[in-house]
Amino acid sequence: MRPTYLELLDELPNKETFHMADVIMEGLVNVSPRRMQSLLETCTSVKVKRLFFFSAERHQHRWLAHIEQENVYLGKGKRSLGRGGKLDAKYQITVPEEFDGIQ
């Protein structure tokens, strides 16, 4: 079984780095929106889904426009992924300052 990008996001920040996740997302130019929609809708981790959308927007992937975000439950409240960092107002997650904003 191959680990997916969503599984990698689940390992942040303890077992994987934001840098690794960012580099991989940058290269995800041919994502199937239909398949990703299904994966996101069945994913139970609010942290993972918020990180996914944050990162996809950061890299301005065109396929993101074809994912119906309103059908993906993103939970309520803020999520902190470690000490320090900066709160992303849209997704309510704390990310390292160097990953704040659009690339």
pLDDT digits (tens, 9 = 90+) for 10-29: 999 889 889 999 999 999 99
Q: Is the pLDDT of residue 103 over 80?
A: no
Say if residue 83 is exposed, middle or buried (CB neighbours under 10 Å; 0-12, 13-18, 19+).
Answer: exposed
If DSSP codes are grouped into helix, strand and coil, which group holds residue 49?
Answer: helix
The predicted model scores a pTM of 0.90
What sign does the CA torsion over 10, 14, 93, 76 have?
Answer: positive
Which pLDDT tens digit goes with each residue over 32-57? 999 999 999 999 999 999 999 999 99
Average pLDDT, whole number, for the chain? Answer: 90
22, 12 contact by CB (below 8 A) = no
Q: Which residues pair with 80 in a beta bridge?
A: 94
